[in-house]
Structure 1
Amino acid sequence: MALNKVSMLIMQVMIGTIFIDVVFCSSRSIATPIRGCNSQSCGDLAIPFPFGLDKGCYREPPVLFQIHCLKSTPYLFNSSFEVKDISVLKGEVTIILPIAQDCYSENGTQLTNGTRDVTRSLNEFFSVSYNKNKFYSIGCDNSATITGSRRDKNYTTGCISSCSYADEIDLKSCSGVGCCRTSIPRELVNYGLKLGSNNNHRSVWSFNQCSYAFVMQETAFKFSSFQEFNNDSMFPVVLDWAVGFNSCQVAIENMTTDYACKENSVCVNSTSRPGYLCRCSEGYQGNPYLPNGCIGT
């Protein structure tokens, strides 16, 4: 009888150990959602943490991570910037921005204002991605400039495009004949566009009455004619984001509850702007900003 009691006690301990192991393994392998924030989405856009819709469902500050949902359309914080995509892995947000347009009558009278202050309400937490976007100028008699600020200093660049006949236009290569493009600098936090014309389009008006200027995600540029542009055109622009403004070394040395990288993740310095990003450790995948968000593969 005593032996049976000992055997039963051993069995209970073993079962308890197995139960503890199951619970422990489950806690490591299942991503824990933020309470009450299980299905954050707006329209067709899934919104991954640290971004979110409601207070408590996004990481502070709200001017970086809050998404405002209006009639099933997501906007970056409380702005007019419509969000098309969010990448936690790359530290990117793709938004839709307007173009600048400069149009003339047949006698050379300017019909539109060829300037546009595109990103006035953007803030220092976002930078226009210098390696994903290009500045474009479209038209046969135009010079275009982009002026912005980076590290509290102003920056201006631009390009000139021209052509004499409609059959010369080459938007595909965008090499200066009806289309030109140039790179933008790192950490550009806002920008404005300005268009000008040498001859007010008088010599090319029969096939090109307007010029256009815009920043656009380079891989999305797939145009063949001027007719594809108008004053209502909106194009995708990739923004870089990161957590805070400190490097990983500083963030880890001063580690508090504000440190963003959770279990089974590593901190990496942003290569495009100040701040850091989180990545799941090797052998794990998921969302490194969520508790237990990186799941073993």
Structure 2
Amino acid sequence: MTIQYSSYVVTVTLLLLVVAAASSRQKLSMAAPTTLPGCPDKCGNVSIPYPFGTQDGCFLPGFQIICNHTFHPPRAFFPAEYFRSGPDMVYSKPLIRTEHVYYNNTQNGDDMPRGISSFSPVELMGVSVAEGKLQVRAPFCYKCKLNETHHSYRNTVLIYFPDRSPFFLSEQSTVLMGIGKYPITAEQRSGPSCQAYVQSLDQFVNGTCSGQGCCQATMLPQTHYDTVTMESHDHNDCTYAMLVDKSWYSFTSLDLDGDVFLRRNNASGVPVAVDFVITNHSCPRHGQQVPEGYACTGDNTICVQLPLDDDNEGYLCRCSQGYQGNPYIQNGCQDINECEKPDLYPCHGTCNNREGEYECACPAGTKGNAKEEQCTEMFPLPAKEAVGKLYMHHSMIHTPFISSAIKHIICML
């Protein structure tokens, strides 16, 4: 009877383990959604998570993206719209404007400048809904004169997002940067400028941007658009100025030689970090009815209120602690299995994942906070030795009693 009962327990236990393993595999195989049902989630190699979208009904107002299939692979752009009103250009959508100046020696020896202005849509390179950030591609200013007969000069770059739009040039991630061997001043429409030059060839340090060959200045907060210009002396060399995501560029002295930087980056441009926010709304107060159009619709989400200029209101959606994914859609925030990410969620003991959190316990016989430090044994070595000696002494005296007790137990089974 005892053997049959044990077999039954083992069988049920194995079945439960199989079901649990199957459920675990099913949960892992279900990828978290990134956009609304029926909406494309990619344009070429670029992910398009909601609130962004490329089709009607797939995006929030102001977050439309145009997927241009004339490129291979397709590329993602913000819709552009601009028109001339008298002598001025009027912009109503995100865009980039550049001004080039070309110098060509005439037969009379005059260096006559030729200026050209151009407009282009803002290209989207990537989106992080978790951080409320995106990367866009932008050109940069340069002045290159490599010989006496021809040199080119892109003297102005405007990166423009309309006022009261959901987008700001990122104050934390985007910087104004200047690169040059000879004195260069990189300037922005609003905010500080910076100066770079090489005083001595042994003074600049690769990887740093402190003025020797490379300089940088911060952005003003909540800047919808900015214009980059540069001033530099006339030398047979190249100098550069740009708004750029500071995590992308690491200064190297190789970029001071000739047009190395220009040839490497002119076609592709440089990444610029942009923050986005849900504008013209605020987070509902505790107990308040959720307003119409509220964006944090998914489970396990929180609303983060953001102060904006011009008496405007805005907020971001985040996944609650212990969850990750897209907080702007239903079921977008899913549980993090912290036990699979020990680098982010340390555990020096036994890890057990739970919904929205995880437990980390010290093994039996040890103690401590296993999430923060190594567990320590509950009994020091001297105590162990003393217990061991006492046990050996007790065993030598009472061995017959222990043996008979064991035999008695076996007989009972």
TM-score range, shorter chain: 0.7 to 0.9
Residue 143 of structure 1, aligned match among 165, 185, 191? 185
The residue number in structure 1 matching 2:41 is: 40
The residue number in structure 2 matching 1:291 is: 330
Q: Calculate the aligned-residue CA RMSD, in Å.
A: 3.1
The residue number in structure 1 matching 2:192 is: 157
1:65 aligns with 2:63: yes
1:267 aligns with 2:303: yes
The residue number in structure 2 matching 1:116 is: 156
- Residues 286, 169 of structure 1: alpha-carbon distance in 2 compared, 3 angstrom cutoff: closer
TM-score (norm 1): 0.73
- Residues 166, 36 of structure 1: alpha-carbon distance in 2 compared, 3 angstrom cutoff: same
The residue number in structure 1 matching 2:175 is: 134
Q: How many Å separate the matches in 1 of 2:289 and 2:303?
A: 13
Cα shift at 1:269: 1.8
Residues 102, 196 of structure 1: 8 Å contact kept: no
- Describe the SS at the equivalent of 1:118: strand
The residue number in structure 2 matching 1:7 is: none
Q: How many Å separate the matches in 2 of 1:235 and 1:127?
A: 17
Answer with 44-53 or 278-287: which moved more. 278-287
Residue 101 of structure 1, aligned match among 142, 145, 148? 142
Residues 209, 251 of structure 2: 8 Å contact kept: no
Residue 234 of structure 2, aligned match among 200, 203, 221? 200
1:214 aligns with 2:242: yes
- Residues 292, 163 of structure 1: alpha-carbon distance in 2 compared, 3 angstrom cutoff: closer
Q: Deviations over 1:145-201 (max 9, x none)?
A: 111xxxxxxx2421111225555554521211111111111111111111112x423
The residue number in structure 2 matching 1:14 is: none
Unmatched 5+ stretches in structure 2 = 1-26, 81-94, 96-120, 336-354, 356-413
The residue number in structure 2 matching 1:229 is: 261
Give % identity: 29
Q: How many Å separate the matches in 1 of 2:279 and 2:56?
A: 19
Residues 129, 272 of structure 1: 8 Å contact kept: no
Q: Deviations over 1:45-78 (max 9, x none)?
A: 221111111011112x1xx311211131111344
TM-score (norm 2): 0.54
Residue 244 of structure 1, aligned match among 261, 279, 292? 279
- Higher relative CO (Cα under 8 Å, sequence separation at least 6) belongs to 1
Report the count of equivalent residues.
251
Q: How many Å separate the matches in 1 of 2:270 and 2:214?
A: 16
Q: How many Å separate the matches in 1 of 2:294 and 2:270?
A: 35
Residues 104, 112 of structure 1: 8 Å contact kept: yes
